[in-house]
Amino acid sequence: MEEPLLRIEGLRTHFFTSEGVLKAVDGVDLSVPAGKTVCLVGESGCGKSVTARSILQLVDKPGRIVGGSIRWNGATELATLDPAGEELRRVRGGEIGMIFQEPMASLSPMYTVGAQLSQALRLHRDLTKQEAREEGVALLRKVGIPNAEQRYDTYPFQLSGGMCQRVMIAIALCCDPALLIADEPTTALDVTTQARILDLMMDLRAQNDMAILFITHDLGVVAEVADEVAVMYLGRIVEHGTVEQIFSDPRHPYTRALLRSIPELRGSGARRRLTAIRGMVPSLRQVPAGCSFHTRCDHAVEGLCEVTPPPLRKYGEAHVASCHLDEVPAAPAAPAAPVLQVTERVAAETAAEPLLRVEGLAKHYPIGGGLFRKPSGVVRAVDGVDLTILPGQTVGLVGESGCGKTTLGRCVARLADPTAGRILYRTEQGDEVDLATVTGARLKDFRRQIRVIFQDPFSSLNPRMTLQQIVGEPLRTHGIASGGELRDRVADMLTRVGLRPEYMQRYPHAFSGGQRQRVNIARALITGPRLVVADEPVSALDVSVRAQILNLLTDLQEELGLTYLFISHDLSVVEHISDRVTVMYLGKVVEDADTADLYRQPRHPYTEALMHAVPVPDPARRRERHAFEIADDLPDPAAPPPGCRFHTRCAHVRAELCRTDVPELREYGERRSAACHHAAGLTLAGVGSVAREPQVDGRMAGRDA
Amino acid sequence: MLRYIGRRVLILIPTLAAISIVTFVVIQLPPGDYLTTLTAQRASQGDGVPTGEIARLTERYGLDKPVIVQYWQWISAILFHGDFGESFDYARPVSALLAERLPLTIALSLVTLVFIWAVSFPIGVYSAIRQYSVGDYTFTFFGYLGLAVPNFLIALVLMWVGLQFFDLNAGGILSPEYRDAPWSLAKLGDLAAHLWIPIVIWGTAGTAGNIRVLRANLLDELRKPYVVAARARGMPERKMTIMYPVRVAMNPFFSTIGWVLPGLIAADAITSKVLNLQTTGPLMLRALLAQDMYLAGAILLISAVLVVLGTLVSDIALGWLDPRVRLRY
Ligand SMILES: Nc1ncnc2c1ncn2[C@@H]1O[C@H](COP(=O)(O)OP(=O)(O)O)[C@@H](O)[C@H]1O
Ligand code: SF4
Ligand code: SF4
Ligand SMILES: [Mg+2]
């Protein structure tokens, strides 16, 4: 066999902490052939990043490579090079480039992007300052940055996350590396931005004949980019194969579980529970004996799996998996496993009065103002939005970052004061109250009825408070309960969100992202709200955990009769939980429809673009979405384009009207409307026509956590 | 950048006005006005104040006029004539008293500032990069010591050391034989031999504080993703550390300008007394004890103004060094 570009054998990287040795990477074999894309997948904490960093000896203290070999180009042994030595420095950046998850934080805020780019260039190549600048601008242009000349002299914090990632790619490419290591390069980005960054990477790979080691937790992304896939669990590779093998013939139960938990765009429009992997990744402090996956595996063989480590089985050319079962049965061994519970909802055609009616809501933020200075402009974050939510329904609110979704949600929860418009909320007594005008003690009462779940599970919990204090706080501030009753209520709420009441006295840092989000949910629901605004509640979470949280939200909605306003940038997530979907662009609603109708046939080009930015977990249909690409970043919200705000990026823009006249939101059929001049004449592609039910589901009906 | 400085300076004006008002109020705090204090004091010494003098002082401070006018007379005399009023304790103009002591005080403060930076910068960087090393622990230990031990105690110890080992009488800033001698190399050497003691004393706490701040900041910065990213593109470790994380972690250094300068002017009279240094500290102490309010007020005003100016300088330095500060305005 031809020697691959990179061959990792038996790599072991351990962290020597005060609580013992953490075996983050424990015997990894992985090869990257020249010019190919190899994806490393697995949930958070499985050791993907540590593996990637080990290659260039970038593991932080107290971590250390304790065994194995990393052969580069068939010659150099990277694992034993002097970390401060000249030889390793030449490989870093010169032969292997690397990009990271948080593009903005990966650039120093103290220097312009150009300075950092030209510095990288001059590290490995003999260039004068002037030559480096020219080369740098050319690179920025190559990675698709508009106005490269000017952007060269901007600071990272003046650019969007997507632009920063392009800069990082430019830096990584500056010396024509043979291998690019990309550690979750799109996880922190919007779906639309993600789609464009993935395309860019694939184009560059072809142009430069470069190999990519691509790390992600998202199998949808894997299907888009991979040639080969390695699935990682708790420091080991559990399955390896070509992308076709992994997607059409997955062998390891973990791979199958991961595949099932993708919230795929289905286009059927029906709300449906997702299949989630049971439990969560165990702590490295207590790696299960035998097969480390046995605590979560539906097929574990008693007396075998928890005792003996599984052998590596070969399933054909380059397809291996390590499992005791040669043939994993299609149905789980456990009897009476619930089949996918389909929550078909008759879209609320009932004559029910709406719980919330938002009319002409606007929120304008002044920009640049301050002491001694007049504001230099105004951002119309929300600019005349109408929205209706029926009781018991979920309305999904979709759009890219910066479209005003969060601002709208905050206005509804009255965490922000609207500039104009009415927020009519129907009380339990049945009368409508305009929340926009309510203040003081009455507002406090409504804040108990309308609660918010925030996006970031890591920063939204006070690290110095115990779970009991965090979850119980609203009860105390609203004077609902205290003492023993408060404790009982908190315990009950924790149980409902799937956390053990024994955790009450612990602090947030002891919990994973998914668990923290459960705490967030508990805190929101503890006051017995009627309306819940969930602002990107799953965007920061792994795909598998995402499924658990979405299912939890659905269950709680049914149990407690909740009404949701569910905010997300990802249409695939929204489909699974929403009855209706509202699409926002630059402060305005551009489309509003029942979920099924919207996904079957969008009426607005922006909806179409959002829909096709979602990666399709099917390698055979890769790059299908190219036809629906939208260009550039969101325009500056302080100076939206005239006419139709979307015309700068619209694939269907026409000479008449689009650039001059503002399109009104017009009705198209029953309960749906769109704001496009040409909506009636356009045939836009939905997902219904091409959707398929995931094949793995058919073969392995799943069980929920 | 110009705009940023302009706005900072604009904000300065109301701040300074507020400071002057507060100082004026402090001056007015003791019961009675300046004149009654003065008469009472003279009376206790057995002699009265001549009527002509009373009339002159009443006119000078506007004591028979409304408070607003009094304030205006006081502040305009300072602004336009550098006249801070009169110290009845010393029976001399306050400005003359200050002229004797302020230059030395300010010079000492500046040298102390340089000392603090020069010592804390390398140690702070070292302690962060070699976290938990023997050197780190040693510096941390001495840092705590420096923070905890009172200045006058260090002064006594250093004086003893000076006397014992260097045969140096550490009091004052010059040995007696040089006091009135013309400037020469030998005199300069003598000055340096004396000067290091107060500088070390006053600089210790600031140095220890700065080391801790720099160490903590740098440890935070070293964990930032851009550090790994810079390493991953092959930057040499030393260059990378100085260019990226150290530069960010240095920001709090500039805020020391704001407090080191004025800190010495109004405070630490004890050390000055022990070392027999003619700084404004002991002056302030005595003025407060004697309720010599124009003198105390002047020192208070000057140190408050220096706080504000120091903050301005550090803000400008920050804006110049940190694009995030500069460009977000
Ligand atoms: N600096 C560190 N100290 C101790 N443990 C660490 C450190 N960095 C990573 N780990 C451990 O290594 C494991 C794998 O982490 P990582 O490679 O980041 O996972 P992934 O990239 O798959 O999400 C985690 O369980 C984490 O606790
Ligand atoms: S070895 Fe056993 S526990 Fe592990 S994946 Fe296979 S069946 Fe499941
Ligand atoms: S109005 Fe024109 S530019 Fe706007 S979405 Fe419709 S077709 Fe596109
Ligand atoms: Mg990772």
Please list every residue in chain A whose beta carbon sits closer than 8 Å to the beta carbon of residue B226: 105-109
Q: Is the CB of A583 under 6 A from ligand 3?
A: no
Contact B233 A107 (CB under 8 A): no
On whether any CB of chain B is under 8 Å from the CB of A107, the answer is yes
DSSP secondary structure, A582-641, as one string: EEEETTEEEEEEEHHHHHHS-SSHHHHHHHHHSPPS-GGGTTGGGGG---SSPPPTTSPP
CB A395 within 8 A of CB A565: yes
Question: Long-range contacts: B158-167, Cβ < 8 Å, 24+?
Answer: B158/B197, B158/B200, B158/B201, B159/B197, B159/B274, B159/B275, B162/B197, B166/B193
Alpha carbon of A112: minimum distance to chain B alpha carbons (Å): 9
In the Cβ-directed half-sphere of A240, how many Cα atoms lie within 13 Å?
Answer: 17
For residue A126, the one-letter residue type is D
Q: In angstroms, what is the span from residue A587 Cα to ligand 1's centroid?
A: 40
Q: Is the CB of A522 under 6 A from ligand 2?
A: no
Cα distances from B96 to residues A128, B57, B265, B296, in angstroms, run: 60, 18, 16, 14
Rounded CA separation A586/A436 (Å): 22
Contact B225 A100 (CB under 8 A): yes
Look at residue B3 and tell me whether its pLDDT is greater than 90.
no
Record the tokens describing residue A389, joined without a space: 């939510």
Look at residue B9 and tell me whether its pLDDT is greater than 70.
yes
Which one, of A42, A8, A55, A7, lies nearest residue A27 by Cα?
A: A8
Residues with CB under 6 A from ligand 1: A 15, 17, 22, 24, 42, 44-50, 60, 63, 284
Fold of A356-464+507-606: Rossmann fold (3.40.50)
- CB count, 10 Å around CB of B51? 8
pLDDT at residue B240 in the model:
92
Which one, of A513, A503, A294, A524, lies nearest residue A409 by Cα?
A: A524
Please list every residue in chain B whose beta carbon sits closer than 8 Å to the beta carbon of residue A106: 225-226, 228-229
For residue B135, the one-letter residue type is G
Please list every residue in chain A whose beta carbon sits closer than 8 Å to the beta carbon of residue B232: 56, 58, 92-93, 97-98
How would you label A213-229 residue by residue, b for 16+ Cβ within 10 Å and e otherwise? bbbbbbbbbbbbbbbbb
Rounded CA separation B193/B185 (Å): 12
Residues 334-393 of A with CB under 8 A from B: 370-373
Query: What are the tens digits of pLDDT across the range B255-297?
Result: 777 776 666 666 667 777 777 777 888 888 888 888 888 888 8
- Which residues does residue A673 pair with via DSSP β-bridges, in sequence order? A592, A667
pLDDT at residue A222 in the model:
94
For residue A526, the one-letter residue type is I
**Looking at residue A281, what DSSP letter applies?**
P
B152 or A351, greater pLDDT: B152
HEC string of chain B equals CHHHHHHHHHHHHHHHHHHHHHHHHHHHCCCCCHHHHHHHHHHHCCCCCCHHHHHHHHHHHCCCCCHHHHHHHHHHHHHHHCCCCEECCCCEEHHHHHHHHHHHHHHHHHHHHHHHHHHHHHHHHHHHHCCCCHHHHHHHHHHHHHHHCCHHHHHHHHHHHHHHHHCCCCCCCCCHHHCCCCCCHHHHHHHHHHHHHHHHHHHHHHHHHHHHHHHHHHHHHHCCHHHHHHHHCCCCHHHHHHHHHHHHHCHHHHHHHHHHHHHHHHCCHHHHHHHCCCCHHHHHHHHHHCCCHHHHHHHHHHHHHHHHHHHHHHHHHHHHHCHHHHHCC
Q: For B126, left (φ over 0), alpha (ψ -120 to 50), or beta?
A: alpha
CB A230 within 8 A of CB A43: no
Rounded CA separation A186/A224 (Å): 13
Q: Is the CB of A663 under 6 A from ligand 3?
A: yes
Query: Is the four-CA dihedral A556, A560, A566, A571 of positive or negative sign?
Result: positive
pLDDT at residue A330 in the model:
61
Work out the average pLDDT over B48-73: 80
Query: What are the tens digits of pLDDT across the range B10-20?
Result: 888 888 999 99
For residue A253, the one-letter residue type is P
B44 or A394, greater pLDDT: A394
Contacts of A606 (CB under 8 A, 6+ apart): A583, A585, A590, A591, A630, A646, A650
By the 10 Å C-beta count (0-12 exposed, 13-18 middle, 19+ buried), A629 is classed as middle
pLDDT at residue B33 in the model:
66
**Backbone phi, psi, residue B22, to 5°:** -60, -45
On whether any CB of chain A is under 8 Å from the CB of B232, the answer is yes
ipTM above 0.90, yes or no: no
Please list every residue in chain B whose beta carbon sits closer than 8 Å to the beta carbon of residue A373: 7
Q: Which of A58, A112, A171 sits opposite B228 (nearest CB)?
A: A58
Ligand 3, pocket-test mutation among A583, A606, A630, A650, most atoms within 8 A of CB:
A650
Residues 98-137 of B with CB under 8 A from A: none
Please list every residue in chain B whose beta carbon sits closer than 8 Å to the beta carbon of residue A157: 324
Q: In angstroms, what is the span from residue A36 Cα to ligand 2's centroid?
A: 30
Contact A105 B224 (CB under 8 A): yes
pLDDT at residue A341 in the model:
34
Which one, of A71, A158, A53, A52, lies nearest residue A114 by Cα?
A: A158
Look at residue B46 and tell me whether its pLDDT is greater than 80.
no
The domains located in chain B, with CATH, are: 95-262+272-278 (1.10.3720)
Q: Collapse the DSSP code of A96 into the 3-class scheme (helix H, G, I; strand E, B; otherwise coil) and give the result.
A: strand
Find the closest chain B residue to A369 by CA distance. B329
Q: For A492, left (φ over 0), alpha (ψ -120 to 50), or beta?
A: alpha
Q: Which of A105, A112, A123 sits opposite B233 (nearest CB)?
A: A123
Q: Collapse the DSSP code of A21 into the 3-class scheme (helix H, G, I; strand E, B; otherwise coil) and give the result.
A: strand
CB B287 within 8 A of CB B299: yes
For residue A194, the one-letter residue type is Q
Rounded CA separation B253/B212 (Å): 11
pLDDT at residue A348 in the model:
43
Quick one: which ligand is closest to A58's CA? 1
pLDDT at residue A136 in the model:
94
DSSP secondary structure, A171-217, as one string: HHHTT--SEEEEESTTTTS-HHHHHHHHHHHHHHHHHHT-EEEEEES
- Which residues does residue A77 pair with via DSSP β-bridges, in sequence order? A71
On whether any CB of chain B is under 8 Å from the CB of A94, the answer is yes
With tokens 């595996």, the residue in question is A297
Give residue B169's pLDDT band: very low, low, confident or very high (50, 70, 90): low
On whether any CB of chain B is under 8 Å from the CB of A120, the answer is yes
Rounded CA separation B280/B299 (Å): 8
Q: In angstroms, what is the span from residue A610 Cα to ligand 3's centroid?
A: 15
B251-266 vs B185-222: helix axis angle to the nearest 10? Answer: 140
Cα distances from B98 to residues B75, B87, B198, in angstroms, run: 17, 11, 20
Which one, of A595, A25, A662, lies nearest residue A266 by Cα?
A: A595
Query: Is the four-CA dihedral B177, B179, B183, B189 of positive or negative sign?
Result: positive
Contact B327 A158 (CB under 8 A): yes
Query: What are the tens digits of pLDDT across the range B193-214?
Result: 778 888 888 888 888 888 988 9
Locate all alpha helices (DSSP H) within A209-343, ordered by sequence.
219-225, 243-248, 253-260
By the 10 Å C-beta count (0-12 exposed, 13-18 middle, 19+ buried), A249 is classed as middle
Q: Which of A60, A90, A98 sits opposite B232 (nearest CB)?
A: A98
Q: Collapse the DSSP code of A135 into the 3-class scheme (helix H, G, I; strand E, B; otherwise coil) and give the result.
A: helix
Q: In angstroms, what is the span from residue A589 Cα to ligand 2's centroid?
A: 49
Q: Which residues of chain A have pLDDT under 50?
A: 331-350, 371, 689-705
